[in-house]
Chains A and B, each alone.
Chain A
Amino acid sequence: MGNQPRLVIDGLRASVEGKEILQGVSLDVKGGEVHAIMGPNGTGKSTLASAIMGHPKYEITGGSVTLDGEDVLSMAVDERARAGLFLAMQYPSEITGVTNADFLRSAINARRGEGNELSLIRFIRLMEAKMKTLEMDPAFAHRYLNEGFSGGEKKRNEILQMMLLEPKLVILDEIDSGLDIDAMRIVAAGVNELRSEERGFLIITHYQRLLTYIKPDVVHVMMRGAIVKSGGPELVERLESEGYDWVKEELGIEDETVGKEPEVKMPMNTIAPRH
């Protein structure tokens, strides 16, 4: 401990189903810093998060990612997590039959490593304390993982995991979507509680609101699968009052999105198959 972690992303390119989404993203996030990545929908923000974490759907086609000098891209997903990466997901999976508590304990012990596992009683104390901070109903510990959780409950559960796992580098992918103002305040308080020199944050959002609760140090704007503009917190204010058009104008961008499917018109009354 006491080390300041550092995530370096250099010229990262990634594609999904043959379409290149990330077209050379570079970032340098150090412990103690909060970076915000903003941008309209469809500009590659969530792809960046998933590519860093190693979602199997994304193929890395170029560039590098290192955490404290270690090559992240050569690690399996679980190794990335144990190395200290954490991604709070936009759409966490629901897993029947696995209780939240069992899952959290497995995750903590995986992070701590063999021989260093947390005893059951200490785990429960820790979990209950963190749940209280997040104003979560203790019953959520015994419910199946994310099953039947509302959007806001899922997001709180992601923050709970973040608090318990104490990662070196946290990526929050649209943690604010679907949150009401109270929930957002609680989630932001959870994040702020974890801010320290030993931890860096990358916060992905397309609303400015979250960033009034979590003050970023650096703000990046993403368009067409790349960082097109970076600045200080004042950039958030300008984007809030003026939107993104001035950025596009300044850079001569007409369509800011990337890898977009041509729109398909669905016939009326079509119901998507349930999966």
Chain B
Amino acid sequence: MSTQTILPADRDSVIELSRSRQEPEWMTGLRADGLDLAGKLELPKLDKVRIDRWNLNFLGVHQATREVTDPRDLPEAATRLLDTDALPNNLLIHYNSGVAYSRLSPDLASRGVIFCSMEQALKDHGELVRNYFMNIIKKEENLLTALHAGLWSGGAFLYIPRNVVIEEPVQAIFYIDDSQARFAPHVLIVAEANSAVTYVDTYGSGELTNHLVKNAITEVFVHPGARVNFASTLNLDKSITDLSYRRGHVENDGQINWVIGEMNYGDSMSDTTSLLMGSGSSSDAKVICVGSGEQKLSLTTRAVHFGKATDSDMITRAVMRDQSTAIINGITKIEKGATGANGQQTEKVLMLSPRARGDANPILLIDEDDVKAGHAASVGQVNADQLYYLMSRGISREQAMKLIIYGFLAPVVSEIPISRIQEQLQDLVERKLGHERRANS
């Protein structure tokens, strides 16, 4: 078992690094506690996935980040998604182990919005960060969360004050091309009462020369009446194992919407959870993935209803090629007292290869009577009648297959709020499916 080898750094050097970066005392303590726990805790138990057999040996070493004043000074691959002549007003770029660039529109800054690297947030808003950092996802949960608490570096802090509604999406880019670099960003979003924001991030990488683990956590705290739209696309090289936890805590009448495009080439575990704490709170999660090569994927979406009259909806759609494997779990949990809750979920898997495997596991755990819950799950091949129908209009078999597969994923792709990133996701889907860019669009 790799639990021993997974511990990459000795405690002393981590604490030393934390002090040298002038992190608050509580953060240094959190890191030390995280590493101590990591020595005791187990890897998470995933349904039908032996994550302990994955390559989790190398977590990278923290590399100092050179900040730039112009994103054009970063490698072109890192900023490919940007129009560098017309940068978004609210942008953060995380490069290898840390944040190299960030900007926030003066207007939003004057209204009290904060958008900066996590390190900067610790310096300038330490107490604010302390209220939330690893309070939604706890270091005690398992080996991965404990390690993250100890080793995280880089990532973003986004804070939206009460009643502030941000129209323009806030964008973050995470890019790695250093095979030695630790890649463990922490993203924390806090939306105060009645605020609203759309946050979009993208993960990309170069081809690394060795195997590396990404251990990332995203926490979103949605205060009463606030709304957070969160979109993320992931496109990491096959040399990277992606372990990602995302979790939202939603108070009264708050709302969180997740849109996730899992287009990694390496083994990936992701867990996207909405905790519906307050009455009237709601969540929506849409996840797509394309499995290729010999990839192993474990994708979990989860909604936990604590508050009354809470609403959740979850959709996962996966297309499986080659010898890839995906275990897709949808978990709707309705706690005692969450009367009037309504939890719905759908998992659909489209199999394109006889050697691929896809399991859809809808799980309903309900401890309250006065609720509604529904699930639908399917695993199947391209529907022969649909293929016949399209072909009967003169469309070639190949083109008809493409239409059906893209159509299968389209309801999620179309939810990506930034058109450039929506196009990128479409490109990633096409590349993962081994198709050329469509000529006629």
Contact = CB atoms under 8 A, between A and B. Distances in A.
Q: Do A and B belong to a common assembly?
A: yes
Contact of A95 (B386, B391, B409): B386
A56 B388 contact: yes
Contacts of A165: 393-394
Given A98-B404, A106-B399, A93 B383 contact: yes
A76 B397 contact: yes
Interface string A67-104: 00000000011101110001101001101111000110
Contacts of B404: 95, 98
Interface string A40-80: 00000000000001111000000000000000000011101
B395 interface: yes
A117 interface: yes
A101 to B, nearest CB: 12
Q: Which of A95, A117, A165 has the most CB of B within 10 A?
A: A95
Given A93-B386, A95-B386, A81 B407 contact: no
A53 B397 CA distance: 15
A235 B400 CA distance: 41
B290 to A, nearest CB: 14
A163 to B, nearest CB: 13
Contacts of A86: 392
B398 to A, nearest CB: 10
B392 A98 contact: no
B440 A109 contact: yes
Contacts of A145: 407
Interface string B161-173: 0000000000000
A56 B384 CA distance: 8
A241 B391 CA distance: 40
Nearest to A146: B389
A77 B391 contact: yes
A111 B383 contact: no
A89 B392 CA distance: 10
A20 B388 CA distance: 22
Contacts of A53: 392
A77 B392 contact: yes
B408 A96 contact: yes
Contacts of A117: 440
Interface residues of B, number: 25
A78 B388 CA distance: 8
Given A76-B391, A77-B388, A97 B396 contact: no
Contacts of B400: 78
Contacts of B408: 96-97
A58 B393 CA distance: 18
Nearest to B376: A274
B392 A110 contact: no
Nearest to B412: A97
Contacts of B384: 56
A96 B407 contact: yes
A107 interface: yes
A76 B396 CA distance: 9
A89 B396 contact: no
B389 A110 contact: no
A161 B403 CA distance: 17
A189 B386 CA distance: 28
B112 interface: no
B392 A87 contact: yes
Contact of A92 (B389, B406, B407): B389
Contacts of A107: 390, 393-395
Contacts of A244: none
A207 interface: no
A144 interface: yes
Contacts of A77: 388, 391-392
Contact of A98 (B397, B403, B440): B403
A32 to B, nearest CB: 23
Contacts of A105: 440
A82 B394 CA distance: 5
Contact of B391 (A81, A89, A102): A81
Contact of B411 (A97, A103, A161): A97
A105 B409 CA distance: 20
B385 interface: yes
A161 B395 CA distance: 13
18 contacts: A54-B392, A76-B391, A77-B388, A78-B396, A80-B392, A81-B393, A92-B389, A95-B390, A95-B403, A96-B407, A97-B409, A97-B410, A97-B411, A98-B410, A107-B390, A107-B395, A109-B440, A165-B393
Interface of A: 53-56, 76-78, 80-82, 86-87, 89, 92-93, 95-98, 102-103, 105-107, 109-111, 117, 144-145, 161, 165
Interface of B: 383-386, 388-397, 399-400, 403-404, 406-411, 440
Given A56-B384, A96-B410, A106-B390, 19 more contacts: A55-B388, A56-B388, A77-B392, A78-B397, A81-B395, A89-B392, A92-B389, A93-B389, A95-B389, A95-B407, A96-B407, A96-B408, A97-B407, A97-B408, A102-B403, A106-B395, A107-B393, A107-B395, A110-B395
